[in-house]
Structure 1
Amino acid sequence: MLEKLLHDHAVLRERGERLIALLDLPAMPDPQVLAHTRWQLSSHVMQHLALEERYLYAKLLSDPRPHVRALGESFQRELAALYADYSEQGKYWTQERIAADWDGYRHPAKARALTMFARAEREEAELYPLIQGASIDVSTHAPHTSNWTRDAFAIKDAMTQASSPVAR
């Protein structure tokens, strides 16, 4: 499972880099290209978080060793806060809002992508070696406790649907 999680991190980085390339443009790119790029990244984030919770965090949080549980709890709390912000921003920044305030959107969005990259690096540096060194079995899953995709439709709608023109 660690190989799958590492592969997911590589996909997240690749999709994040595609988004950053668009965010680095001085003018808003084609709205459909931006929407597609945003949703490709977001959908993969949600899928990855669900896997991490069931295969990684559930195991860390139920481990009998206090230091393992404490690290798992710390990472999980941080992740929940990061995702709450990610979800809120994903729903807030509709295509219309982005078009109206490209700079107000793109700079914080790039910062969130870079935070995601840093988070993946920390997991790879701190959590994954712990799992291997502590012989934690992540080949089987445990029941989930969070619904990482609860807001998926609201996020997707905000990212991909332009509002209908106002009737005259």
Structure 2
Amino acid sequence: MDLDELQRQHDELEALAARFGQAIADDGNPQRLGTLRWQFARLLMAHLALEDRILYPNIQRQEHDLLRETARRLEIEMAPIAQTFSAYMSRWSDDRIEREWADFCYESRQILDAVLKRIKKEEGLLMPLLTEAGLIETPPIRRAG
């Protein structure tokens, strides 16, 4: 199983989340970040679709019980995060962000934290099991940063 694209997306999501986090660090100083927010959203949605259509179905065809069970649990856990993110994107128009900047920053930090924790959990639980099952030789090497 080639996980290079999924890992690349994880790395890019983490980088975009860091930039987003910096932009919302000062909840008293509104920033224009529509482009950054939509870049993050597009990449996250593309990543989730790749996982849903390729990664998790492929894992469910494997004979490694713990890998299948872990993947299934992670897949189920992701649904509420994806739904929350979708609602967040719908709820926050550019005008509302400007009017309610502090609330937007707070909610954005919660969303970013959930996505980043999810990436770490997926990498920490799935990668070792994929290696153990012989589906990858070694876990993808994380870039520094």
TM-score, with structure 2 as normaliser? 0.85
Is residue 2:55 matched to residue 1:20? Answer: no
CA contact (8 A) 1:2 1:128 kept: no
Correspondence for 1:128: 127
Letter in structure 1 aligned against 2:100: D
Report the Cα distance in structure 2 between the residues aligned to 1:91 and 1:58, rounded to whole angstroms: 29
Report the Cα distance in structure 2 between the residues aligned to 1:17 and 1:103, rounded to whole angstroms: 18
Report the Cα distance in structure 1 between the residues aligned to 2:132 and 2:54, rounded to whole angstroms: 16
Correspondence for 2:97: 98
Identity value in percent:
25
Please say which of residues 104-113 and 34-43 is displaced more in the overlay. Answer: 104-113
> How far is 1:16 from its partner?
0.7
Report the Cα distance in structure 2 between the residues aligned to 1:19 and 1:133, rounded to whole angstroms: 35
CA contact (8 A) 2:67 2:126 kept: no
Matches within 5 A, 1:33-52: 34-52=33-51
Return the structure number with greater relative CO, CA threshold 8 A, min gap 6: 1
Report the Cα distance in structure 2 between the residues aligned to 1:15 and 1:113, rounded to whole angstroms: 10
> How far is 1:57 from its partner?
0.7
Unaligned runs of 5+ in 2: 137-145
Kindly report the root-mean-square deviation, in angstroms, between the aligned alpha carbons of the 2 structures: 1.5
Please say which of residues 128-137 and 16-25 is displaced more in the overlay. Answer: 128-137
SS of match in other structure, 1:54 = helix
> How far is 1:53 from its partner?
2.0
Correspondence for 2:7: 6
SS of match in other structure, 2:107 = helix
> How far is 1:70 from its partner?
1.6
> How far is 1:4 from its partner?
1.9
What are the Cα deviations for residues 85-135 of structure 1, in whole angstroms up to 9, with x where unaligned? 000111111112111211111112112112211111111111022112112
> How far is 1:3 from its partner?
2.0
CA contact (8 A) 1:98 1:105 kept: yes
TM-score, with structure 1 as normaliser? 0.74
Correspondence for 1:53: 52
What are the Cα deviations for residues 53-78 of structure 1, in whole angstroms up to 9, with x where unaligned? 23311122233443222211110011
Report the Cα distance in structure 1 between the residues aligned to 2:58 and 2:130, rounded to whole angstroms: 9
Letter in structure 2 aligned against 1:71: T
Report the Cα distance in structure 2 between the residues aligned to 1:69 and 1:104, rounded to whole angstroms: 39
Is residue 2:76 matched to residue 1:77? Answer: yes
SS of match in other structure, 1:29 = coil
